[in-house]
């Protein structure tokens, strides 16, 4: 046992042990909170990426419907399809805006390109004009030409964004798993360390209290049986040490009172001292 | 006054035996009485405290006791 711990007062030993375990717990809690904050941030990013991907997929589907309603109008001449086309175009625009709001800074350019591709109002007016002037075939051909190009390009663009988002999701997922593993490992290590530290402190505390008390018990036992030659040996500067000193003083007094031939011994010792 | 000072020191080492121990050193070795203890007695008293003390306590402790008595002077 190290000297400084041995000489601490019992109250301070108990407080020190208590604070050591509390400190360990506080460190573990801080680490776990920091890990949980990271996990929370990763989860938020995963949610954002997922929402962006979902919005883009919905956009793809809704924008295909725009083309479908336009063709349906050109084939049937039914103006209800024009209204539906209009609704779908607005919905597609909203979905694209939603996806764009969730995009990273470096993705903004790609979203701007997508938005640019979707701006086909003038072309649409040309198609309608052709159709209304009786040039149905030309109108159909123009629609075909416009949408095939735009949709293909949009598909490429969207696939690229979704692939990047998927990669990012995988990366975040790996990081999150690592954080969770760290949290579990930290919890386990700290629990183990707390148990070991508590055990060590309990052994030190028990040893520093019970060993000298057992020694004093042995001394009392021997003195009570008449053995006054025993030495009180308590090497601590705390309550236990003070108890040992008191006990030593008491044994010394008993020795003095019990010494039947004390004076003769003193005289002899005095003569030897003078030599 | 001087006696009381030395008695207090002795009590730390001999507890309830302090008074009879000190009185014995004064009467037997200094050939005087506790009430007549003078500063010139201290050196001899300290020597006897060391010698007699070593019979009932650890030698190092008896030496320390002797030094403390001597320091009263």
Write down the pLDDT at residue B53.
Answer: 94
pLDDT at B73 over 80: no
DSSP H helical segments within chain A, as ranges?
3-6, 10-76, 80-101, 108-118, 121-132, 136-224, 239-258, 262-274
Rounded CA-CA distance A255/B20 in Å is: 13
Please tell me whether the interface predicted TM-score (ipTM) of this complex is above 0.95: no
Contact A269 B57 (CB under 8 A): no
CA distance A256 to chain B (A): 6
Arithmetic mean of pLDDT over chain B? 93
Residues with Cβ within 8 Å of residue A128, at least 6 apart in sequence: A139
B34 and B45 Cβ atoms separated by less than 8 Å:
no
Contact A253 B16 (CB under 8 A): yes
Write down the pLDDT at residue A264.
Answer: 61
Coil/strand/helix, residue A78: coil
Residues A80-116 pLDDT 10s: 998 998 899 899 989 989 998 988 888 888 888 888 8
H or E element that contains B27: none
> What number is the average pLDDT over the span B50-68?
94
Write down the pLDDT at residue A109.
Answer: 83
Torsion of CA A160, A165, A171, A172, to 10 degrees: 170
Rounded CA-CA distance B40/B17 in Å is: 24
Determine which of A251, A253, A258 to mutate to test the interface with B (most B C-beta atoms within 10 Å).
A253
Contact A252 B29 (CB under 8 A): no
Tell me which residue in A248, A263, A269 faces B28 most closely, judged by beta carbons: A263
Residues of B with CB under 8 A from a CB of A: 12-18, 20-21, 24, 28-29, 47-48, 51-52, 54-58
């Amino acid at each position: 046992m190290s000297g400084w711990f041995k000489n601490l007062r019992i109250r301070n030993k108990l407080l020190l042990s208590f604070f050591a375990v509390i400190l360990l717990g506080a460190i573990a809690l801080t680490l776990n909170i920091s890990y949980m904050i990271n996990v929370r941030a990763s989860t938020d990013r995963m949610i954002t990426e997922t929402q962006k991907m979902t919005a883009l997929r919905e956009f793809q589907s809704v924008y295909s419907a725009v083309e479908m309603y336009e063709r349906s109008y050109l084939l049937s001449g039914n103006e209800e399809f024009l209204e539906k086309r209009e609704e779908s175009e607005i919905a597609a625009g909203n979905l694209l805006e939603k996806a764009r709001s969730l995009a990273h800074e470096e993705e903004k350019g790609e979203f701007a390109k997508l938005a640019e591709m979707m701006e086909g109002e003038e072309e649409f007016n040309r198609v309608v004009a052709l159709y209304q002037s009786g040039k149905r075939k030309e109108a159909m051909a123009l629609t075909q030409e416009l949408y095939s190009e735009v949709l293909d390009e949009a598909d490429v663009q969207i696939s690229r964004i979704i692939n990047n988002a998927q990669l990012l999701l995988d990366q975040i997922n790996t990081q999150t798993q690592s954080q969770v593993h760290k949290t579990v490992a930290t919890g386990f290590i700290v629990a183990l360390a707390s148990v070991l530290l508590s055990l060590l402190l309990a052994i030190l505390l028990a040893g520093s209290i019970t060993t000298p008390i057992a020694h004093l018990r042995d001394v009392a036992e021997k003195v009570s049986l008449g053995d006054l030659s025993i030495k009180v040996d308590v090497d601590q500067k705390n309550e236990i040490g003070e108890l040992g000193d008191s006990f030593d003083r008491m044994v010394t007094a008993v020795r003095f009172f019990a010494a039947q031939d004390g004076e003769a011994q003193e005289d002899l010792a005095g003569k030897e001292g003078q030599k | 006054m001087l006696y009381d000072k030395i008695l207090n020191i002795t009590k730390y080492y001999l507890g309830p035996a302090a008074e009879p121990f000190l009185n014995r050193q004064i009467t037997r070795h200094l050939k005087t009485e506790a009430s007549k203890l003078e500063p010139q007695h201290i050196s001899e008293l300290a020597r006897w405290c060391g010698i007699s003390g070593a019979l009932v306590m650890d030698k190092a402790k008896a030496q320390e006791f002797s030094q403390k008595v001597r320091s009263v002077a």
